[in-house]
Homo-oligomer: A and B are copies of this chain.
Amino acid sequence: MSIHTNLINAIGHFIRMDEAEQSFVSSLFVSREYQKNDYFLREGQVCREAGFIEKGLIRYHSIKDSGEDVTLDFGKENEFTCNYESFLDHSPSQRSIQCIEPTEILAISYENLQLIYSKVKEGEKFGRLICEYLYLQAIKKVSSFYGDQPEQRYLHFINSYPDLQQRIPQYYISSFVGVKPPSLSRIRKRLSM
């Protein structure tokens, strides 16, 4: 039985596992295939699986009361994904996870993740570290929104994700940056002069 190498490597950045644990952990994930615009999670549903992105590109988004579609973040190959708050307390998710490229995700159920926490020696530590990591990500975004103007946020985006810029439509980027498409065009024009 082959193991999911990329996944195990990714978890290996957080904790040590022996071979038996690696096989065990790997066996708890199932592979899921998505086409462009398919959803890994829809707003209103409970997020019952966490995922590891083997291949592809996702965006986190939600629909505001006004009906506006807001892109909150992106995720790509070798990153973990889920709506953590929904996943943790089984509450309806406030945001969707949509694949914006053909995407392959290794998914693990809440119950199976608890098995990792309880059966793997450093499983509980893994849960803590992955959460800490997600926390740092969130904090960085808060800081960026407090400290930066839209123009700086855009620059920050293209510097942080130079490879993603080509793979993501402008209107998702503008939404992510926090402005409307005409404004992002103006920003891009300003920057090119």
Contact = CB atoms under 8 A, between A and B. Distances in A.
Interface stretch (A32-40, A128-136, A154-162): A128-136
Interface in A80-126: 84-85, 88, 94-95, 124-125
When all copies of this chain in the complex are counted, the total is 2
Interface stretch (A6-14, A143-151, A165-173): A143-151
A64 to B, nearest CB: 5
A84 B140 CA distance: 12
Nearest to A83: B139
A72 B138 contact: no
Contact of A146 (B72, B128, B146, B147): B72
Contacts of A124: 124-125, 128
Interface of A: 62, 64, 70, 72, 84-85, 88, 94-95, 124-125, 127-128, 131-132, 134-136, 138-139, 141-143, 145-147, 178
Given A84-B136, A134-B135, 15 more contacts: A64-B147, A70-B146, A72-B142, A72-B146, A85-B135, A85-B136, A94-B143, A124-B125, A124-B128, A131-B131, A131-B135, A135-B135, A138-B142, A141-B142, A146-B178
